[in-house]
Structure 1
Amino acid sequence: MRALKSVPKSFLVPAALAPVLLATLAAPPARAEEDGGAVAAALLAEVQGCEQLSKGRFRTDDGAPADIPVCGGKGVVHWKADLDIDCDGRPSPVCNKHTDPYFQPTTAFQDSRGRHLDSAKLPYVVVPGASKRWNHREAKVWGGGLAAIVYRGRVRYAVVGDTGPTNLIGEASYATARALGIDPHPVRGGAPGGVTYIFFQGSQVERIESAGDAEREGARLVGELLAG
């Protein structure tokens, strides 16, 4: 494994924590999800500043202030926002027109068999639709691209699976919320803030529908970012 990069003064890993972080980066993805916060803290340190990429800022919800910029640098795109529940895609017992009044049976991106994604099973993130404010495609954030989501000391991996309104930001699938310990209910669920989304530019899994592929590739990319 490559050596960890030098850590900025604003984030000094205690000596007692260093072995945990090193062991986490060397461990398989399933172990990385139980890192006790070491990887989460290291990732947050990597994206603590903001080199703004977007020409404007986004709202978390209709009527909320437009105060969320899309930031970039070090080969990643990132933002910090809330997490609204996306229950769109293939209907399931928890995501359908009865459980979600805004349910749509489609997603912007489809799986390797041409089917719309299953938000109840697949951890995916929603990015704002392309606009003059910010175009995810121009930023090399593509359907099936890899993302790491950090919330309350947890790191989970997901793919880019859907697009949303061009002026709103902060949304992920039912399965993503559940993996983060957030109430995934499409109406009453979600998190009001404190969720950091980190996208690896130019990344893309072959099978967008495979959560296992996303975990393995996501863990690899996180390891490279922290060791780079």
Structure 2
Amino acid sequence: MRLRTLSLAAASGTALLAAGLLPAHASATPTPRSAQEGTVSAADLLSKVTSCSQVSNGKYRTDEETSATVPVCGKNGAVFWKADLDIDCDGQRTANCNEDRDPWYQDDTAFHQSDGKPLKAETLPYVVVPSTSSIWNYSNAGIKGGGVVAVIYNNKVEYAVVGDTGPTKIIGEASYATAKALGIDPDPATGGAESGVTYILFKNSKVSPIESHSAAVTLGNQLAQQFLANN
């Protein structure tokens, strides 16, 4: 988990949009793969997470130098938090996830593909959960490696899996592929979103194989429908 700053290109694009020098449909960030995955809208999911019943023993920081302001919240069948999105580019080396592109690159992930290899952050949407600590134990909460996560940003829904673990006191991180799909700059050194990202993790769920994004979307859509019905 690292502090991220807006890339120059993204900042310039945002400024041009504000000045009316780019058409309304222009984007300062990469075009997402799709505006929404599945049939459940971002608005419907967000309507169920407007208040927090805190289940963590404390709160998390979004970056090393920020104060602890983010609790893990409980709902029927899920936990959720609202934070930033830092870029995780760990796992198998690819064109955009490697030592040259990512100053913090590590060649492994906490959870592995069905063939035993680390996950591919560049192509697989996954979320990073804080490692177990006195603040919160994700495993005791029914969250597993390969569990389904609905990641919501800017009215978009992206289904991902729990794919890696991070620092014990910091929250708000997802893979390169997750960021790209949501229209967030995925650059591991300068990308990410400073705020506005909601993570809904469905309890006792597991995608098999973990590397199948289509399986995550199918299961995620079913769980999202149940989440709306039960909350």
Q: Aligned partners of 1:216, 1:75: CA distance in 2, in Å?
A: 17
The one-letter code sitting in structure 2 at the alignment partner of 1:192 is E
1:64 maps to 66
Tell me if the contact between 2:36 and 2:156 (Cα under 8 Å) persists in the aligned partners: no
In the TM superposition, what is the alpha-carbon distance from 1:227 to its structure 2 partner? 2.7
Contact 1:87 1:103 in 2 (8 A): yes
| Structure 2 counterparts to residues 209-224 of structure 1, below 5 A | 209-224=211-226
What secondary structure is seen at the aligned counterpart in 1 of 2:47? helix
Is the contact made by 2:126 and 2:178 (CA closer than 8 Å) also made in structure 1?
Answer: yes
Q: Which stretches of structure 1, 4 residues or more, deviate above 3 A after TM superposition?
A: none
Could you tell me whether the CA contact under 8 Å between 1:89 and 1:105 is conserved in 2? yes
Aligned to 1:33: 37
Question: What is the match of residue 190 of structure 2?
Answer: 188
May I ask how many residue pairs the two structures share in their alignment? 197
Task: Tell me which residue corresponds to 1:155.
Answer: 157
AA partner of residue 203 (structure 2): Q
**Which residue of structure 2 lines up, in the alignment, with residue 129 of structure 1?**
131
Q: Name the counterpart of 1:117.
A: 119
5+ residue gaps in structure 1?
Answer: 1-29
- Identity among equivalent pairs (%): 53
Q: Is contact 2:35–2:157 with CA below 8 Å preserved after alignment? A: no
Which amino acid letter does the alignment assign opposite residue 45 of structure 1?
S
> 2:60 corresponds to which letter in structure 1?
F
Take 1:205 and 1:64, find their aligned partners in 2: how far apart are those partners? Answer: 33
On the 8 A contact 2:63/2:170 being kept in 1, the answer is yes
In the alignment, the residues of structure 2 paired with residue 188 and residue 170 of structure 1 have an alpha-carbon distance, to the nearest angstrom, of 15
RMSD: 1.4
Who is 1:27 aligned against? none
Task: Say which of 172, 176, 179 aligns to 1:177.
Answer: 179
Change (3 A) 1:208 1:132: same
Distance 2:229 2:103 in 1: 44
Q: How does 1:11-22 map to 2 (within 5 A)?
A: none
- Residue 9 (structure 1) aligns with: none
Cα 1:31–1:128 change in 2 (3 A) is: closer
